[in-house]
Amino acid sequence: MTMDYGIVVPQGWRMDLVGIADPAEAYEAMTRVAREAETLGFHSIWLYDHFHTVPVPTQEITFECWISTAALARDTQRVRIGQIVTCNGYRNPALLAKMASTVDALSHGRLNLGIGAGWYEHEYRAYGFPYPDTGERLRRLREAVQIILAMWTQDEATFEGQYYQVRGAINQPKGVQKPHIPLLIGGGGEKVTLRMVAQYGDACNVGGDIATIKHKFAVLKRHCDELGRDYNSIRRTILIDDCAIADTEEAAIAKLTPEDRNNLDEFRQEALVGTPAMIRQRLAEYEEAGVQEIIIRFVDATKLESIRLFARECMDVR
């Protein structure tokens, strides 16, 4: 097995467009990264689904996920496009399925729909969305996933749930990909989320250190065995939220925030920091753990040099 690599395109949420005051130029900076990733041979590009910045809300630019997904689909030609991940609480699932079908058509069949239960309470409340407890958010996600799949596979979707009702919804076109757009369900909850992946998902996305990732995959496999699902039919992806790569370790570390530098050993458990040789060693460990695609956010992606260095020294470009 040879892993694929995706890149999180800077869209502002992680303060990665700071210093670009003009919104049009900020978008151009975002799409330059997407186009460069495609040129370099990255398998996919991804967007976060958030409305304002972390770790604290600020007035800095943050582009909306699904409008940006559609725009990037037309700015690129070959690379796959997804969300890491869509927050179920922000959009009606029938509408989301329709949006995804449209984007799959305009991208000529390059969309992945990533979805999760949501977690950012401040953002929910700031935008006027109700923020139910974790159990309810997961129950809502389960209903939403069933509706999305019905919208993609049935002539008229009907669903009567506790939280959502769809009564004869028509969705044309349904998209390009067959049997439907790949559905990635994000999260590592062992009793509910990973079982939902085994039941409905085409891909998972989990996080944590390598030992945790191995454990989550083992839990997913148990769910698949119980449900009669082929474990190998589910694409296993992870998200690396921070990658700092440079020709020297010192230069890579210098790209990190002071807080991350002060907790470097712990930070490295779930990040990629160092020279290409150091990062290649970590990538081999992820591959050995069963990861099929790593989705990476480069801390300085807008400068392009880091993603070029990674592609040149760390990727097996096919």
How confident is the model over 161-200, as pLDDT tens digits? Answer: 999 999 999 999 999 999 999 999 999 999 999 999 999 9
pLDDT at 316 over 80: no
Query: pLDDT for 238-287, tens place per residue?
Result: 999 999 999 999 999 999 999 999 999 999 999 999 999 999 999 999 99
Of 181, 218, 216, 217, the C-alpha closest to 201 is 181
The H or E element spanning position 272 is: strand 272-274
Q: Which two tokens stand for residue 222?
A: 């148990």
DSSP 102-168: HHHHHTTS-B-EEEE----HHHHHHTT-----HHHHHHHHHHHHHHHHHHHH-SSEEEE-SS-EEEE
- What is the percentage of the chain residues whose pLDDT exceeds 70? 99
- Strand 157-160 vs strand 165-169: parallel, antiparallel, or unpaired? antiparallel
pLDDT at 211 over 60: yes
Query: pLDDT for 60-89, tens place per residue?
Result: 999 999 999 999 999 999 999 999 999 999
Per-residue pLDDT band at 318 (split at 50, 70, 90) = very low
CATH number for the domain spanning 205: value is 3.20.20.30
Query: pLDDT for 219-233, tens place per residue?
Result: 999 999 999 999 999
pLDDT at 105 over 90: yes
The count of domains in the chain is: 1
Q: How far apart are CA 163 and CA 26, in angstroms?
A: 38
Tell me which residue range forms the domain holding 55.
Answer: 4-314
pLDDT at 1 over 70: no
Q: How far is CA 99 from the centre of its chain?
A: 17
Q: How far apart are CA 249 and CA 28, in angstroms?
A: 30
